[in-house]
Amino acid sequence: MPEIKLTTVIKADINIVFHLSRDIDFHQKSVPGTGEKAIAGRTSGLIEEGETVTWKARHLGIYLTLTTKIVAMNKPYHFTDIMLKGAFKSMKHQHIFNKVGENTVMTDIFEFQSPFGIIGKLFDKNFLKNYMEKFLLKRNEQIKIAAEKSRN
């Protein structure tokens, strides 16, 4: 199963970074190229443990829906979401936050697997892992910009 691990250092309070990371409204604004829209479950505000959200977005030129559920949360240090329904065979995304001096270190651990057996594995390795990493890096950059602006 492919895994993407990203670390982002943000010069902002851990609570601000944590809240931005689970803010449905902010997420919809932070990834403009995909047209992400929350269409079911929690569709606005801060998602909480036990809640679901269904996203509709354009990725790779096609519209997809993805339903995720927050299965674990320890405010403001961690939350985990998993896919309930969607294009992946499986998906798990851990969001980890640590206070280090004046900074917050945000770590993403994103695990996923495409369907279709060996073809899916080749697609994951040769294309999708890179695509998803770029997507997460863009989103993390938007969280960093918004959180650091809130300091001023």
Tens digit of pLDDT for each residue in 29-69?
Answer: 998 889 899 999 999 999 999 999 999 999 888 999 999 99
Domain span holding position 52: 3-151
pLDDT band at 150 (very low <50, low <70, confident <90, very high): confident
Work out the average pLDDT over 85-114. 97
Q: What is the pLDDT of residue 31?
A: 87
CATH code of residue 124: 3.30.530.20
The alpha helices in the chain, defined as continuous H runs, are 14-21, 24-30, 117-123, 129-151
Number of domains in the chain: 1
CB atoms within 10 A of CB 23: 18
Work out the average pLDDT over 76-92. 97
Q: What is the pLDDT of residue 4?
A: 98
31 versus 86: the higher-pLDDT residue is: 86
Look-up of token digits 């969280």: 143
